[in-house]
Amino acid sequence: MTDAKIPSLLSSLTPIARELDALPAGRPAPAACLMRLNANENPFPLPSIVMRSAIAALERQYLYPEHDNITLREAAAAAYGMSADRVMAGNGSSELLSLIYRALLAPGDSIAMLSPGFSFNRKLASLQGAQFIEVRGNELDSLPIDSFLFGPARHAKFILLANPNNPTGAFVPVAEIERLVAKYDRLVVLDEAYIDFAPENGLHLVNRYSNLLILRTFSKSYATAGIRIGFAFGHPELIGRLRNIQNMFNMNVIGHAVGMSVLSNRRAYDENHNHIKHERQRVSGALSEFGFSVIPSHANFLLARVPAGRDGKWWQSALERQGILVAFFPDDGLEDCIRVSIGTRNQMDAFLEAVDKIRRGADSS
């Protein structure tokens, strides 16, 4: 096909698709030698009993995975104390989140999110031609309930909350979330991706409120980011319709097997979770001594405001020159922050040594 036909082809795209830039064919990948503390990954290997299930699944690679994830949904329902018709399984919670946008939003609709939040939601809204409303609160550990109920967000098709929040790590008591769900007459989507590092969860509310949908992922707390396992929990009518628009065979056989094994062996991760909570506290204290202002976190990462004189982008670049990747967000109010994932003890020691070296002026670029 000649390039002369491209304008005609592009003109046949939907208006929303025409507004998107074409991604380049190749992007530079991070060097393998760099320490990845920028993606909130859990750096530990799978427990041996879970790893054995993954290896065994490879022997069934010639079979299609189970349609509709029936046994995995039943296992999750049993593990979390609810009926299987309230559970949907997905290729990570990101797949389930995109299904929610596709199912609920049409051009001209709106969605409201507590801000700052997961930036991918802006793209999901734009792909549906929907307005994205960001609602800011005065306190990180509370909800601006009146803003959701009476401000521009009152017309939103759904409200998206993350608890603990990303990128702040802040946690809102579940009772406060319940207050919003009880007063709101539309859908509230509660993303609990980091809930295993927090003091409580809202899963018990699913049986009580039909307008609540909860998302979970095994990427953070169960070290399966590369395998992609996620769940949604909600009213059977809503869950059933969302399942009906999923791709066939949306999860692979390894994801099925690992998901089943994790659900049966969650206690095998206790040491992993305790380590991350301990290191989170230790690194927070050390950064505070170095002049950073650290937001109290209930996730597997820390958001820290950098010392005066440099911004977050500068610190991100300085740490990369030391071989360490951290996250930076250009969003309003976050320009002076970096986010660092909690890794192994050795990784966090290396991170703190690099921070100390940079602040002492060894990196003056």
Residue 19 lies in a domain: no
d(CA 77, CA 85): 8
166 closest CA partner among 261, 94, 247, 265: 94
Asked if residue 82 and residue 184 are part of one domain, the reply reads yes
Residue 10 lies in a domain: no
pTM: 0.93
Asked if residue 259 and residue 278 are part of one domain, the reply reads no
Asked if residue 199 and residue 70 are part of one domain, the reply reads yes
Residue 14 lies in a domain: no
Last residue of a domain, one of 237, 264, 291: 264
Asked if residue 258 and residue 309 are part of one domain, the reply reads no
Contact 338, 359 (CB under 8 A): no
Asked if residue 179 and residue 315 are part of one domain, the reply reads no
Q: How many structural domains are present in the chain?
A: 2
Residue 165 lies in a domain: yes
Last residue of a domain, one of 264, 280, 298: 264
- CATH number, position 278: 3.90.1150.10
Tokens 């920028």, located at residue:
38
Q: What is the pLDDT of residue 1?
A: 44
| Residues spanned by the domain of 96 | 49-264
Asked if residue 246 and residue 132 are part of one domain, the reply reads yes
Token pair listed for 312:
């977050």
Residue 26 lies in a domain: no
Asked if residue 296 and residue 206 are part of one domain, the reply reads no
Q: What is the pLDDT of residue 363?
A: 52
Last residue of a domain, one of 264, 286, 302: 264
Token pair listed for 8:
């005609």
Q: Is 187 helix (H, G, I), strand (E, B) or coil?
A: strand
d(CA 264, CA 280): 27
Residue 8 lies in a domain: no
Q: What is the pLDDT of residue 24?
A: 78
Residue 294 lies in a domain: yes
Alpha helices by DSSP H, the chain: 6-11, 15-19, 48-58, 70-80, 93-104, 120-127, 145-150, 174-183, 236-244, 253-264, 270-289, 312-321, 345-359
Asked if residue 257 and residue 319 are part of one domain, the reply reads no
What is the rounded end-to-end Cα distance, in angstroms, of the chain?
A: 48
Residue 30 lies in a domain: no
Q: What is the pLDDT of residue 27?
A: 64
Q: What is the pLDDT of residue 141?
A: 79
Asked if residue 236 and residue 289 are part of one domain, the reply reads no
Query: pLDDT digit of tens for each residue in the chain (365 aa)?
Result: 457 777 877 788 888 887 777 777 766 666 677 999 999 999 999 999 999 999 999 999 999 999 899 999 999 999 999 999 999 999 999 999 999 999 999 999 999 999 888 889 999 999 999 999 999 887 777 899 999 999 889 999 999 999 999 999 999 999 999 999 999 999 999 999 999 999 999 999 999 999 999 999 999 999 999 999 999 999 999 999 999 999 999 999 999 999 999 999 999 999 999 999 999 999 999 999 999 999 999 999 999 999 999 999 999 999 999 999 999 998 778 999 999 999 999 999 999 999 999 998 855 55
Asked if residue 343 and residue 291 are part of one domain, the reply reads yes
Asked if residue 236 and residue 158 are part of one domain, the reply reads yes
Asked if residue 146 and residue 58 are part of one domain, the reply reads yes
- CATH number, position 138: 3.40.640.10
Q: What is the pLDDT of residue 30?
A: 66
